Chain A
Amino acid sequence: MRVRPDLIEHLPRLRRYARALTGDVNRADDLVQDTLERALAKLDLWQPGSDLRAWLFTLMHNLFVNQIRIKRPQETVMEEALDEPVSGGQMEALTARDIHAALAQLPEEQREVLLLVGLEQFGYAEAAQVLGVPTGTVMSRLSRARERMRAMLAGEPAIKLKLVK
């Protein structure tokens, strides 16, 4: 008898990621619900012993990407081509409190990487696995995302962080 894993332990973190990803409470919980339904339907495909959390985030990523495609059928997925720098001026007034607004301005594939690494603390290789891209792509998206966020959040009195030695 195969022991089925417990999904509820992952629920708080799935909700946190979905909230940051979509920027909307209801959309986020709908995404979590869809993820759980898919997980239950496909649980036999999950390899016991492998990372259940990464698998659940992979399912959520796939659902999220499909939603975006449905929403914008006319757009091809532009990948890194979306990456012209933020035009100076229009975003300068953002402050740390506008982290929500800044996130919303990021291309989705950069937002996903930034959140998986910076908020959910996935390793680069794990994030690559979740997103189904090479680790090098994760690194370049991360770099773009962080620089773009820095440009958007510039001008604020940044929280002076002393990196712990």
Chain B
Amino acid sequence: MTDNVHEHELHAYVDGTLPEARRLEVEAWLAAHPADAERVQAWAAQNQSLHAAFDAVLNEPLPLNLVRATRRPAIPVLYKTMAAMLAMLVTGLVGYAIGLNSGGSQTPVAPAYLARDAAIAHAVFSPEARHPVEVDAAHADHLVAWLSKRVGTPLQAPDFSAQGFELLGGRLLSGETGPVAQFMYQDRIERRVTLYVRRAVADSKVTAFRHATENGVDVFYWIDGDFGYALSGQIGRQTIQKLADAAYAQLVTR
């Protein structure tokens, strides 16, 4: 037992950074010192209030100008690493440049960007414990109607229950071609996959499946009509492919 607890240890207690043994000692000390216990409780409530006030910002659609501001340096990397897709990439860069100059409304993007952007969106939102989705699956009808309206095409959230994944919900993001819908699914052991849907390049009406690995995220993507679809996850290529097969079978317009 300790006779003395330093002020900074009270803060460390609130912030959860004390070693376990010391944490127990501080706890015992607080039980005997109600004035300090009251301060500590107020500080913890402040942390909670800050999250309550500002966590919603994490859910907001990312402003297009900020998304763009993060991307400029990636272009040379794409040149180096995706030489095989060079022709496609050049189209994409021209589109990108036009987009930069014109304000970027509805500029088509090449499928390579679709996979990359989908993987990024997956990486940003799938680890979120508090707010993985904006609208949860309990409001699935509202979710689908809302995202359909914003993206501008009748959307459908594919059913992956046969593959063991349930719809968690969805969110609206901003992309270079306008609004983007992201549906998120989760299985029993909380592995997550995301389906990313947005307006795609205008001159490739239908593509077969393509596969890409972006920063460790497996992405299967395809274009159907004016829209691009990308299914992303880090659960092994084969599992993702099965889900992508199911999504494709359910979503592709006949």
Question: Which chain A residues have a beta carbon within 8 Å of chain B's beta carbons?
Answer: 1, 3-4, 6-9, 11-13, 15-16, 19-20, 29, 32-33, 36-37, 40, 43, 96, 99-100, 114-115, 117-119, 121, 123-124, 139, 142-143, 146-147, 149-150, 153, 158-161, 163, 165
Contacts and interface: CB of A to CB of B under 8 A. Distances in A.
Contacts of A143: 7-8, 11
Interface of B: 7-8, 11-13, 15, 17, 27, 39-55, 57-58, 60, 62-63, 65-67, 69-74, 76-77, 80, 120, 123-124, 215
A36 B17 CA distance: 30
28 contacts: A3-B77, A11-B62, A11-B66, A11-B67, A11-B70, A19-B54, A20-B54, A40-B72, A43-B73, A99-B46, A99-B52, A114-B46, A115-B50, A118-B46, A118-B47, A119-B51, A121-B15, A143-B8, A150-B43, A153-B46, A158-B45, A159-B48, A159-B49, A160-B41, A161-B41, A161-B45, A161-B48, A163-B27
Contacts of A43: 73
B124 A1 contact: no
Contacts of B47: 118-119
A8 B53 contact: no
Contacts, number: 122
A101 to B, nearest CB: 11
Contacts of A121: 15
A12 B41 CA distance: 29
Nearest to A18: B57
Given A16-B54, A119-B47, A8 B70 contact: yes
Judged by DSSP, the binding face of A is helix
B62 A12 contact: yes
Contacts of A159: 45, 48-49
A13 B48 contact: no
Contacts of B13: 163
Contacts of B73: 4, 40, 43
